[in-house]
Chain A
């Protein structure tokens, strides 16, 4: 295994959480000190120039998002950290918060200064009580040390951070649904526009970023744009990324790796290869909504643009691997059941469309499917895409479309045999 620079995970030790003293010793809160010497606009420009793209799945350039934010507008404005992390295959933010939570606190203090948002909320999912406790302790330590609270580090700027513990449901990861959740309203998504930057939490300008994105910011402030660019193996890209490995690999752990690393190196070196000596069949490169990659993509760079070129997405970089004995129709069926169950029910394409797709995939997987079902499946995908209220159903179509594009022969095989050709499903 190549030893790559560790930034977010440099202090990580199994079963331990870094406290303030150790964090400071390793250079912690130097990024905040540097930021407070600059103007808020300069901090935004620095992050923009670093090439940092959102780590929560969509990959939107962070600095550009920040530059749209009306930082000069008077009145309440909010900074929100999205720690809902509920896309199957994604567990990186949890590793980060368990290991070294001050990075998020510092990142939020810097972002709050850059965007002139005095109040920040950290939204954490129900299952992450372990993270909530560690983040709350980090906030207390930072308050006592003057990194949070009134007049932070004598700058005249105030920051307060709150932890919100949620109560389930994948849809809360959608930013407008999350804002309704924070407000204590029923968390169906909101219509966009207006975007949160104009009218977000409590109707006020709000900036939402992912945990890993915010935790990366202090390091950019401390070490600079060039350093951040050079971390990536892809010269077009910038930074490291947390990759959470799962599925049929020998080593299913979370690694911090440079963007642009090949899928082969991720699977074979870090994942230790496919378990049981079996062949690699396919993977989800970045969570349940990202279209499959297959063995032909092994030498592709794991990065935003290269994966888009092959009709997939880097997503959250939660890589779930399937071996040669896996039925991809069964995989897609499981993924679609997840999306169908987690649909909030607000719009018809998602509520009824995903249920119909589940019904069709059941029929096909269990041998009752016909050519007409296959045609109807394609029709459903066409009718759901671009017609749902938010991105949930759009994301759900990722693996279904990839199944039709890459594994249609397997579906036809199911129809011909009247059952699943994979004698024993991987479950």
Chain B
């Protein structure tokens, strides 16, 4: 199994936590670091965060479960967040979502069988001028059309294949 976080990063968080008066303020940073490395935050990730920062596991869990961009369940290699707020909705977000569901063969909240993509709804991405929009990982894609979505998914699939081959 892949490690939750490389040891040097754990040590670096430990050192930072020791140097500040309020180590809780690093909880979100550390959860995000684990997620960036491991893909999501399993129970052991919560425990690791608590042990590294010297805080209680429940204090980490109550933070982790509040945020919609911290994943406490397994997700695919790429999480696709589709905006369903008003500006995107007004110019075709429902059609965009339908196209994504059809291309990926999954519904909202599901992951493709090959573990490549998870599809989730999200509130406004701050790309209202470029609606309709979605975010893959941390990258926003705007002015979506079915063709543009197909191209983007194809590029992501190729990138994932290269990652797996490594």
Chain B residues within an 8 Å CB radius of A90: 124, 126, 128
Question: A167 contacts which of B28, B87, B131 (Cβ < 8 Å)?
Answer: B28
Residue of A nearest to B96 (CB): A427
Chain B residues within an 8 Å CB radius of A338: 85-86, 123-124
Binds B, one of A126-134, A147-155, A390-398, A404-412: A126-134
User: Number of B residues whose C-beta is below 8 Å from A?
Assistant: 44
B24, B25, B29 — most chain A CB neighbours (10 Å): B25
- Asked if B124 and A184 sit within 8 Å, CB to CB, the answer is no
Question: A87 contacts which of B67, B84, B124 (Cβ < 8 Å)?
Answer: B124
Alpha-carbon distance A95/B138, docked complex (angstroms): 17
- Asked if A167 and B24 sit within 8 Å, CB to CB, the answer is no
Chain B residues within an 8 Å CB radius of A126: 67, 69, 138
- Asked if B135 and A88 sit within 8 Å, CB to CB, the answer is no
- Asked if A246 and B87 sit within 8 Å, CB to CB, the answer is yes
- Asked if B62 and A184 sit within 8 Å, CB to CB, the answer is no
User: Number of A residues whose C-beta is below 8 Å from B?
Assistant: 54
Q: A247 at the A/B interface (Cβ < 8 Å)? A: yes
Question: A427 contacts which of B26, B31, B70, B93 (Cβ < 8 Å)?
Answer: B93
Report 9 cross-chain contacts, Cβ distance below 8 Å, ordered by A residue.
Answer: A128-B126, A167-B31, A169-B68, A184-B27, A248-B91, A318-B128, A320-B128, A427-B90, A427-B95
- Asked if B28 and A181 sit within 8 Å, CB to CB, the answer is yes
Residue of B nearest to A253 (CB): B129
Alpha-carbon distance A170/B86, docked complex (angstroms): 14
Interface string of B15-40 (1 = CB under 8 A from A): 00000011111111101100000000
Q: A165 at the A/B interface (Cβ < 8 Å)? A: yes
- Asked if A427 and B92 sit within 8 Å, CB to CB, the answer is yes
Q: A331 at the A/B interface (Cβ < 8 Å)? A: yes
Q: B112 at the A/B interface (Cβ < 8 Å)? A: no
Chain B residues within an 8 Å CB radius of A130: 140
- Asked if A86 and B126 sit within 8 Å, CB to CB, the answer is yes
Q: Kindly list 10 other residue pairs between chains A and B, CB separation below 8 angstroms, not including A93-B126, A183-B22.
A: A86-B123, A87-B124, A127-B125, A127-B126, A167-B31, A252-B131, A335-B86, A338-B86, A426-B89, A426-B90
Question: B66 contacts which of A169, A183, A252, A335 (Cβ < 8 Å)?
Answer: A169
Chain A residues within an 8 Å CB radius of B25: 182-184
Q: A30 at the A/B interface (Cβ < 8 Å)? A: no
Q: B110 at the A/B interface (Cβ < 8 Å)? A: no
Q: A367 at the A/B interface (Cβ < 8 Å)? A: no
- Asked if A89 and B124 sit within 8 Å, CB to CB, the answer is yes
Residue of B nearest to A335 (CB): B86
